[in-house]
Structure 1
């Protein structure tokens, strides 16, 4: 063994006493050992006066023996430490484990002595993050019950939750207290992009559970705005066992937060010859679905109109930024093999921003001005619509609920005291029933967000906003909900396309200590603006009644059997 290696081993403060004694014994004579490497025995004897070759042989054998003992002792220590870690991991993972009989109907019940502290259901988009989604699926299934980890590419979350909650209700009706406690403590983990996270949030809202499970989001997309807003980071996670266990620990420690959810209604006249083309259902985000029933109080309740309803949690955007996102989305669908990692995705996104004219929109997109595309109205006070003035330079509008957009940027920022007083603006809270409306001229304007206190053009804060598209300079525009874009046809004659966004309710989400979002209901968050409860009340004249308004449409398959007692779920 080299004398340098011995010195390194001696530096380990946690080395067992026996190892250190052997090392000290060896180090006292290690100055002789290098001479043994010389082939000339005379040289060896000359290097150490009074020594002979047999002594050197014995010293070498001693060093080999001690080295073997050292390796054996260290190996045993590492195995013992690994065993301790493994036992600790197993003990921890029991706190997340759900028995199969709770998850799968008709399974044989088992007696479980202790209720897990943090039972979880895990939903993973295996197609997200290149190969990461599939790898993450394998790891979660290896550390938890295979029956509590689901691939969203195989089974939709509404079907899964419907099946599990119905089974839990059946067990509860039979006196199973363990199943009841699982339901009380249940949490959901969703791994995917912002669109995937929004899908799960929409499903949980639509199912209207008596105690909706809070949701933790694993960043597995390109922007990862939702996870970043609540402290889960924006870089794709590790997929190894220890990374997954570390994330589960964070889920156990996370706090619950309420955030607003927003209803979006999009209505257009049913296409005829010479009118705008219909939207293919597959082109729409998960949370936006066609409905056929409308309220009798709805001003557009007439034959010949198609209505889409849905919801979002982070943002709705219109214009050039959505166009770049759509180009990226389309390219990824055509060539998925080119989008295997987050860095490549972000680089491609930036290139598309240039080719789509987002950096020089005045040259390439003369018809992209929002003012020429739509008439915009906002409702700041109950029952009072007012026109929102949009300058000609604005080519993108973002309706923002969370302080995380385009990879974690905050377009609204925090208005100064005099701006709040002069324009009746507030700091952005995620549960105040208001949405922030921000405008951008081009990508260069967006780069201002990278500077301290940078922000876009603050247009309004409102409880509702309406876009009315009439025949104009363009036959289509681009829209985006929580990271999922689509190409929206616009009227080419006297038809009208209406998009209206309104506050719907709230949902529970899990946040870490690094959470960037501010909550009015959180005592640790200072509130700069007393929330006007009157603004939350729905006005009978303006409200849209009916179940299709109360739902996002994300769980359109959710329907209880006739013989099932629905009161158990409501």
Structure 2
């Protein structure tokens, strides 16, 4: 009996040990699983905000370093864009930084103005690339925002912030540079708008560089920016922006043109000319009943009258009617040559059309060789059909029609070696398309007529009732009548020179 009780006790002890061991093993397993679940794995930290991302687009580190040289702080960009859009100079925002924040101005703050209709319609693609490399607030389409709006509102807003003691705005204003993407007419449009800064003594005047999108691009060639813009890819655009940072400044003469005509209501003038008050046609008789509509404008490269302007007018109208023909500089030149043949530029001696005849019968030309000199008449040869008043030594895609006369020739004719800032215009004539072709091929020089500090032209109808003119590539058709003083044109130097960026 005792033996059975002892065996039962041992058996119960074994069962208790097994149950306790199984429960402990279960607890061990649970503890082990809990330890595994709670064991620290690889650290998963939140990613910092990407400094190369702006407006949802990724920017490479290379582009970010590039942007630091040109892109203004965001509050300045937004302030200028809001001022231009609202046409108000006061910044309505509340995010102007305090002095303790003190943001730094870029070394080369840059504003780009694009003529989206120049250069085979490359403007939109170029603008997209510039928006990525700079910012959309620093890129203006001139078809939407004329340059005067930027200078009157955007730049004035920046100046107002500087007046309030914003050092970043002040440094940005003093370092500001402007890059114009377009042809010679577009560059002249922007340069003409800076005249307002001179008048209002808003210094310093921002220097202007170019991205050549036009056909001739003589202003661009003269200051080292090249004759054509081939690609809108980022590396190519970046190269032009770097040029704007490394360029030195250079002066450029600017010339004021005044057109006085009886037919002011019938003339469709380019945007480079704007109307002024009505004045008498004859200066000596201020009480004359014959009044003229007066138009003024500024040009920087050339003013021409005659057959070359007629060809440019035909090309301009054709491009407006059929924009698909303007695919780029090469196609433009082909179309331009076709217009030359159609207009009779090459067939002038065989044509009875009075529109293509000599200018001698309809124009009287007078010049001042010195600023304080008297008006002197200039005799026009009988076969001259185009007269050009040239400021630069680049015409028709980089040609030099004035040539390189010898020192003896210059002394005999009282000529000087021309430069872009000498205050003198070179006046020369072209006979016909064949003569012009030889001049363009540098096989012959143009007919040198005079050098002048001021020019006056009286136009009168002969057998034709209109004449063609152009100013920096912008042509128009001028009506004429039999009255001797039906149209008077004067060209005078402006009081100040323009400031250009000269690319190395």
Q: TM-score, normalised by structure 2?
A: 0.80
Question: 1:96 corresponds to which residue?
Answer: 70
Shift in Å, 1:231:
1.2
Within a 5 Å distance, the mapping from 1:81-480 to structure 2 comes to 86-103=60-77, 104=79, 105-107=91-93, 108-110=95-97, 111=101, 113-208=103-198, 209-269=202-262, 271=263, 278-280=265-267, 283-292=268-277, 299=284, 301=286, 304-364=291-351, 365-367=353-355, 368-381=357-370, 382-452=372-442, 454-480=444-470
Aligned Cα root-mean-square deviation (Å): 2.1
Quote the Cα distance in structure 2 between the aligned partners of 1:298 and 1:441.
33
Preserved CA contact (<8 Å) 1:318 1:478: yes
Preserved CA contact (<8 Å) 1:312 1:481: yes
| SS of match in other structure, 2:304 | strand
User: Which is worse superposed, 239-248 or 201-210?
Assistant: 201-210
| SS of match in other structure, 2:361 | helix
| SS of match in other structure, 1:317 | strand
Preserved CA contact (<8 Å) 1:250 1:512: yes
Preserved CA contact (<8 Å) 1:412 1:428: no
For 1:24-83, what per-residue CA distance to the aligned partner results, in whole angstroms no more than 9, with x for missing partners?
A: xxxxxxxxxxxxxxxxxxxxxxxxxxxxxxxxxxxxxxxxxxxxxxxxxxxxxxxxxxxx
> Do the aligned partners of residues 298 and 138 (structure 1) sit closer, same or farther apart at CA in structure 2, a change above 3 Å counting?
farther
Shift in Å, 1:237:
3.5
Structure whose alpha-carbon radius of gyration is higher: 2
Quote the Cα distance in structure 2 between the aligned partners of 1:301 and 1:264.
21
User: Which is worse superposed, 465-474 or 210-219?
Assistant: 465-474
Quote the Cα distance in structure 2 between the aligned partners of 1:317 and 1:447.
17
Question: 2:39 corresponds to which residue?
Answer: none
Question: 2:29 corresponds to which residue?
Answer: none
Quote the Cα distance in structure 2 between the aligned partners of 1:493 and 1:88.
66
Size of the aligned set, in residue pairs, is: 421
> Do the aligned partners of residues 418 and 141 (structure 1) sit closer, same or farther apart at CA in structure 2, a change above 3 Å counting?
same
> Do the aligned partners of residues 93 and 308 (structure 1) sit closer, same or farther apart at CA in structure 2, a change above 3 Å counting?
same
Preserved CA contact (<8 Å) 1:219 1:233: yes
| SS of match in other structure, 1:150 | strand
| SS of match in other structure, 1:370 | coil
> Do the aligned partners of residues 163 and 477 (structure 1) sit closer, same or farther apart at CA in structure 2, a change above 3 Å counting?
same
Shift in Å, 1:177:
1.0
Shift in Å, 1:316:
0.1
Quote the Cα distance in structure 1 between the aligned partners of 2:210 and 2:279.
33
Q: Which runs of 5+ in 1 are unaligned?
A: 1-84, 272-276, 514-570
Q: Which runs of 5+ in 2 are unaligned?
A: 1-58, 80-90
> Do the aligned partners of residues 112 and 191 (structure 1) sit closer, same or farther apart at CA in structure 2, a change above 3 Å counting?
farther
> Do the aligned partners of residues 452 and 471 (structure 1) sit closer, same or farther apart at CA in structure 2, a change above 3 Å counting?
closer
Preserved CA contact (<8 Å) 2:256 2:492: yes
Shift in Å, 1:295:
10
> Do the aligned partners of residues 170 and 450 (structure 1) sit closer, same or farther apart at CA in structure 2, a change above 3 Å counting?
closer
> Do the aligned partners of residues 243 and 393 (structure 1) sit closer, same or farther apart at CA in structure 2, a change above 3 Å counting?
same
Quote the Cα distance in structure 2 between the aligned partners of 1:383 and 1:414.
26
Q: TM-score, normalised by structure 1?
A: 0.71
Question: 1:483 corresponds to which residue?
Answer: 473
Shift in Å, 1:112:
5.7
Preserved CA contact (<8 Å) 1:231 1:511: yes
Quote the Cα distance in structure 1 between the aligned partners of 2:159 and 2:279.
32
Quote the Cα distance in structure 2 between the aligned partners of 1:219 and 1:97.
22
> Do the aligned partners of residues 410 and 299 (structure 1) sit closer, same or farther apart at CA in structure 2, a change above 3 Å counting?
farther
Question: 1:512 corresponds to which residue?
Answer: 503
Preserved CA contact (<8 Å) 2:73 2:105: no
For 1:439-487, what per-residue CA distance to the aligned partner results, in whole angstroms no more than 9, with x for missing partners?
A: 0001211122344574211100000111101232221010000010001
Quote the Cα distance in structure 1 between the aligned partners of 2:489 and 2:407.
33
> Do the aligned partners of residues 160 and 438 (structure 1) sit closer, same or farther apart at CA in structure 2, a change above 3 Å counting?
same
Shift in Å, 1:300:
6.7
Quote the Cα distance in structure 2 between the aligned partners of 1:470 and 1:313.
27
Quote the Cα distance in structure 1 between the aligned partners of 2:303 and 2:258.
12
> Do the aligned partners of residues 351 and 297 (structure 1) sit closer, same or farther apart at CA in structure 2, a change above 3 Å counting?
closer
